[in-house]
Structure 1
Amino acid sequence: MALIAGAALALALSGCASSDKTAGSDGSSSPLSGKIVWADFGGPTNKARYTTYFDDFTKQTGVKVVSEVESDAVANTMLTGGKGAYDAIHVGLDTVYRYKANIAALDAGVARDTNLPANIRDYAFGTFYVGHVQAYLTATFPGGGPQTWADFFDVAKFPGKRGWMGSPGSYDSACEIAELASGIAPDKLYPLNFDVCTKKLNELRPNMVFYTSYPQIQQLLTSKTAAVVAGPSGQAFALKNQGIDVTISWNQAIVAPNVMTIPASAPDMKNIQALAKVFNEPQRQAAFAKATGYGPGNPDAFTSMDDATKAVIVNSPTHTQIVHQNSEERAKQTDDLLAWYTKWLAG
């Protein structure tokens, strides 16, 4: 797969050579050079980006990819029209909808991630899908554990504490989960009804154990502090990689797209547009999925995955009962959503 992907990278770059060269002062063209400043949240996901995308790109072009842990202050400044050092910023798709006016459109030579809605594909690349799921040690429920979000809230039928998101900025799909647990149909979730969400979350609050960073999800499960945890599927995937028998329920798993976006004021625009061409390659997206457990933005990537990888990918064609976040609708409620969850956490 690596050889195929490497060849695809060389072809992608050579096939768009005119856009990957800049005009020198004498009118001649010069190859790409310099760097790209890439802002994401570090950890295994960032490491996987190097092995899957960045390292080969640097070998082919000489352009160094410098990763920084994303600063909200810098990202917000650039997304609202100001200047900053970032060439690419890791965001939720709702952020792209909200700040599209200050985001650069992808060059024509950049293939689009067709799993994204058509009205936003020009402004996002490097898509990966996170599943907001419930997970538990298989041994905790030998007769079968919770499947739906209503089951998650049913501590009488499935006893034990529930690991839950305890940071205001990490509300993830908290309201969607509460609405689904309340019996609201997936196609009726938006606009989010904060009164319904508050009422449902209050029912479970006495049995909640809050985490404030995602790695704590693994600690809550392995220590048996929580019987079931709600959170990103990648955390349960990491436990599986450690040989721990964890069950992930894909029934009503909420699919949330994460993407990279290029601020209009990006300092190294030609370099980042060249790198963006690499990210749609199905073999590379499949390799990234295998390394991280996150789903691809290009549906063709599934043809390059083995069955074991597909089984832990939230937007795999085999998962037929998933629920997709509506990022465009969420974008309209971003401020209200954060204010609501901050207030609810405070009690």
Structure 2
Amino acid sequence: MDPTRGALLRQPTQACGKHMEEPLRILLTHPSRRLRTALVAGTALALVLAGCSSTDSDESGSSDGSSSLSGQIVWADFGGPTNKARYAAYFDDFTKDTGVKVISEVEVDAIVNTMLTGGKGDYDAIHVGLDVVYQNQANIAKLDDSVGRDTNLPENIRDYAFGTFLVGHVQAYLTETFPNGGPKTWADFWDVEKFPGKRGWMGSPGSYDSGCEMAELASGIAPDKLYPLDLDLCTKKLDELRPHMVFYTSYPQIQQLLTSKTAAVVAGPSGQAVALKNQGLDVTISFDEAIVAPNVIAIPASAPNMTNIQALAKVFNEPERQAAFAKLTGYGPGNPEAFNFMDEETKAKIVNAPGNSSVVFQDSEARSKQQDALLAWYTKWLAG
């Protein structure tokens, strides 16, 4: 869940080399924010985790043939259901076919920071926001020519990211809350007279996510005019809604706010609403003006097991596997061909599915130039 630059300390919940359960974090959708906060505790944790996995490189082998591969891959992400879905859709078959073991670790800021600034570390793959790739391209490995590119990414960054999944920042509510039809656009979300009730909203300093884009759209700014983000306008618009907000500081709280009816409607990542639908609840998700945020996997240039991770990256582009991952998680694929392998029920939960023509794609390159300003702005606004 949390990408947020040190708002909460992530800790591994099991021994190294095991599947990690997702610790309490604030937001999954923008891992970029955590990269700017240096935590002493995080550094200490980095030293512990660094000893958990081998730093030996696989000296032989080629991504052109699985029979020549051996050894391991150290994969760093946020654990939890998304990590488990990766094993089901990608890792298990890759290990069976190649003998290469995929060891999952919960990302540690200190290790990620070191590797993205040119230092050494144990990670072969890291889960980051696309803006991080733009910011640190010099220290991220280019994908091999044999690796298919995720064409849902901007062309100027496709060579440096794989494993894309698209998170929709949406509004969701229990259908029974608005029996005559609920809010659809962000202007509707702000309209507490027409659609009464509390609004679930992001409540930790680094969790600004798509909040400014939502505020701009609610103000009538055209989707193609959102960037650079107007922080003064966003402040004014958030101030307007603040008396009606209920803040959450972890993703599971979104589900709690809805099911307890503490909030009438919640702004947040689509995966949480999809999880409620998968549990059998009648939840309405509005993809009208949903903000589409790319999450990606990057290979640090100093990755110890470069041959192995390039081979795994090739597997990640297979559309059938991306479709399986989407069905398990509710997140959109980076390869549009994956939709050819989805049933209609799965497509209905995916933010970038064909037919969702009113979604708004984040401009990750533009956001990468405002990350520090965004954190400072939202931290100040929350402090009120």
Is TM-score (shorter-chain normalized) higher than 0.5?
yes
Instruction: Give aligned pairs, total.
Output: 324
How big is the shift at 1:141? 0.3
Provide the C-alpha distance between the structure 2 equivalents of 1:89 and 1:68, rounded to a whole number of angstroms: 10
- Aligned 1:166-205 pairs, distance under 5 A: 166-205=203-242
1:148 equivalent to 2:185? Answer yes
Aligned amino acid, residue 75 of structure 2: W
- Which secondary structure does the structure 2 equivalent of 1:219 belong to? helix
How big is the shift at 1:84? 1.3
Provide the C-alpha distance between the structure 2 equivalents of 1:18 and 1:278, rounded to a whole number of angstroms: 14
Provide the C-alpha distance between the structure 2 equivalents of 1:233 and 1:293, rounded to a whole number of angstroms: 7
- 1:32 corresponds, among 54, 59, 69, to 69
1:97 equivalent to 2:134? Answer yes
- 1:330 corresponds, among 367, 376, 381, to 367
- 1:318 corresponds, among 355, 363, 374, to 355
Partner of 1:48: 85
Provide the C-alpha distance between the structure 1 equivalents of 2:370 and 2:149, rounded to a whole number of angstroms: 27
How big is the shift at 1:31? 2.3
How big is the shift at 1:47? 0.5
Provide the C-alpha distance between the structure 1 equivalents of 2:136 and 2:380, rounded to a whole number of angstroms: 25
What is the root-mean-square deviation of aligned Cα atoms in Å?
1.2
1:107-159 CA-partner distances (Å, limit 9, x unpaired): 11111111111100000000000000000000000000000001101111111
Partner of 1:86: 123
- Which secondary structure does the structure 2 equivalent of 1:19 belong to? coil
- Which secondary structure does the structure 2 equivalent of 1:277 belong to? helix
Structure 2 residue runs without a partner (length 5+) = 1-60
1:195-248 CA-partner distances (Å, limit 9, x unpaired): 000000011111111111111100000010100000000000000000010000
1:318-339 CA-partner distances (Å, limit 9, x unpaired): 1011001001111111111111
Partner of 2:159: 122
Provide the C-alpha distance between the structure 2 equivalents of 1:175 and 1:113, rounded to a whole number of angstroms: 27
- Aligned 1:193-342 pairs, distance under 5 A: 193-342=230-379
Aligned amino acid, residue 194 of structure 2: K
Provide the C-alpha distance between the structure 1 equivalents of 2:351 and 2:63, rounded to a whole number of angstroms: 35
CA contact (8 A) 1:130 1:233 kept: yes
- Which secondary structure does the structure 2 equivalent of 1:169 belong to? coil
CA contact (8 A) 1:311 1:318 kept: no
Provide the C-alpha distance between the structure 1 equivalents of 2:198 and 2:346, rounded to a whole number of angstroms: 30
How big is the shift at 1:56? 0.3
CA contact (8 A) 1:87 1:268 kept: yes
Partner of 1:3: none
CA contact (8 A) 2:62 2:68 kept: no
How big is the shift at 1:19? 3.5
How big is the shift at 1:78? 1.1
1:162 equivalent to 2:206? Answer no
Partner of 2:144: 107
CA contact (8 A) 1:20 1:270 kept: no
Aligned amino acid, residue 321 of structure 2: R
CA contact (8 A) 2:63 2:308 kept: no
Q: Percent identity?
A: 80
- Which secondary structure does the structure 1 equivalent of 2:337 belong to? helix
Provide the C-alpha distance between the structure 2 equivalents of 1:18 and 1:102, rounded to a whole number of angstroms: 22
- 2:63 corresponds, among 19, 24, 47, to 19
Aligned amino acid, residue 147 of structure 2: V
- Which secondary structure does the structure 2 equivalent of 1:168 belong to? coil
Provide the C-alpha distance between the structure 2 equivalents of 1:120 and 1:173, rounded to a whole number of angstroms: 21
Aligned amino acid, residue 178 of structure 1: A
Aligned amino acid, residue 271 of structure 2: G
- Which secondary structure does the structure 2 equivalent of 1:171 belong to? coil
How big is the shift at 1:20? 5.0
Q: 1:21 to 1:290 in 2, by over 3 A?
A: closer
Aligned amino acid, residue 146 of structure 1: P
How big is the shift at 1:21? 6.7
- Which secondary structure does the structure 1 equivalent of 2:196 belong to? coil
Q: TM-score scaled by structure 1?
A: 0.91
1:276-333 CA-partner distances (Å, limit 9, x unpaired): 0000000000011111000000010011111111111000111011001001111111
CA contact (8 A) 1:53 1:278 kept: yes
- Which secondary structure does the structure 1 equivalent of 2:316 belong to? coil
Provide the C-alpha distance between the structure 2 equivalents of 1:249 and 1:174, rounded to a whole number of angstroms: 16
Provide the C-alpha distance between the structure 1 equivalents of 2:246 and 2:117, rounded to a whole number of angstroms: 36
